[in-house]
Amino acid sequence: MIQRALSGDQAAFTELLNRHRRLAYQLALGIVKDPTEADDLVQESFIKAFRCLSRYNPEYAFTTWLCKIVSNHCLDHIRRRKIRTFSLDEPIAGQNGCIKREIPDWSLNPEWQYVRKQRMISIDDAINSLPPRYKRVILLRHKEDHTYEEISEILGIPLGTVKAQIFRARELLKKKLKGL
């Protein structure tokens, strides 16, 4: 059937597509979630498949090839869709007239800033209370962003020791900060 379709027999190609229409439709519907859109996308995918039939590799299943065309076409369609936007300045029309949108600004919330500052103070206090060898590795790793290898070179200790000390330091910090 594929060979006949490749030689230009439209009836053979139509028969191939009729066999696979349901599978293609279910795939498209699963991607776009709209029956009408899925039907249109399957039709367009079949046109693409007919145009590209000469590139079909018979080593692979025809259904795999066709499903790839359908899924790629559906994904391209989704990407091309424009995102529906609305103006934040435009009022919303309602039954009792127009209502203006009021969007809260959470970026400068003093309470959150205070909580964050207190949390940072608590973390710094917990780090400062660590034994010196653990404090050193934590500061190098998390404040100065050094890699384990760099810490090993800086401190002149084996890489395994660095990893073990960072692990132990983190465990101590977890215990100290558990209540936060």
Domain match, 20 and 63 both: yes
The CATH number of whichever domain residue 173 belongs to comes to 1.10.10.10
pLDDT, tens digit (0-9, with 9 covering 90-100), for 2-26: 778 777 788 888 888 889 999 999 9
Please check whether residue 87 lies inside any domain of the structure.
no
Residues 68 and 123 in one domain: no
In the chain, the amino acid numbered 128 is N
Host domain of residue 127: 110-177
Claim to verify: residue 75 and residue 6 sit in the same structural domain: yes
Please check whether residue 65 lies inside any domain of the structure.
yes
| Model pLDDT for residues 37-52, shown as the tens digit of each residue | 999 999 999 989 888 8
The reply to whether 103 falls in a domain is no
Residue 38 lies in a domain: yes
Same-domain status, 114 and 65: no
In the chain, the percentage of residues whose pLDDT exceeds 90 is 51
Which position has the token pair 């103006």? 87
User: What tokens were used for 74?
Assistant: 């559906």
Of residues 135, 117, 125, 37, the one with CA closest to residue 77: 37
114 and 166 part of one domain: yes
What dihedral do alpha carbons 8, 54, 2, 24 form, nearest 10°?
-110
Residues 11 and 74 in one domain: yes
Joined tokens for residue 60: 């692979």
Query: Are residues 116 and 171 both part of a single domain?
Result: yes
Same domain, 55 and 124: no
**For 17-21, 30-34, 94-98, which range has the lowest pLDDT when averaged over its residues?**
94-98
Which of the residue ranges 41-50, 61-70, 105-114 would you say has the lowest mean pLDDT? 105-114
CATH code for position 6:
1.10.1740.10
In a domain, residue 90? The reply is no
- Quote the number of domains for the chain: 2
Residue 19 lies in a domain: yes
In a domain, 140, yes or no: yes
Whether residue 100 lies inside any domain: the answer is no
- Of 16, 14, 13, 46, the C-alpha closest to 28 is 46
Q: What is the mean pLDDT of residues 136-142?
A: 93
**Cβ atoms 53, 16 nearer than 8 A:** no
Sign of the CA dihedral running 25, 53, 55, 45? negative
Contact yes or no for 51/26 (Cβ under 8 A): no
72 shares its domain with 124? no
